Amino acid sequence: MTHTVVVDASVAVKWLVREPDSDRAFALRMLRMVAPALLVAECGSALWRKVKAGDLDADDAAPRLRVLRGAPVLLQPDHELAQKALPLAVELEHPIYDCMYVALAIELSAPLITADKKLASLIRNRMPDRCRVIGLHEIETQLY
């Protein structure tokens, strides 16, 4: 049985650059991963921040972003998803780009896997009955 999970950019960027919990992020490939198409832009932004901070060579950023083309994650169009995410953003008082992942997880009745502890805490505190969230650092004990 293949489990479907929604992954956010905080997880996907760990496929592109070595970070804490990158091994856990790579282990998710045994699952059916889904994300809003926004994932690509968010990962690009994360790579840009690493270049700006001097943590990544500018010439390495674009090839790393291209890795997402072959990543085993199904990207969902986000036009209609934005309509569902906006009310969540208002309710949670949190940016819509994060709420896109929440909206997709709710739509698919799938857990959201994130390395963003602030987002995970917000979901657990404000909507535990509507969205199951799993912190990437918890993955071994929480997924099944």
Binding site residue list: 8, 98
The annotated binding site for Mg(2+) is made up of 8, 98
Question: Which residue type does 24 have?
Answer: R
Cβ neighbours for 131, distance < 8 A, ≥ 6 positions apart: 102, 105, 106, 112, 123
| Rounded-to-integer distance, Cα 40 and Cα 100, Å | 13
- 3-class DSSP state of 28: helix
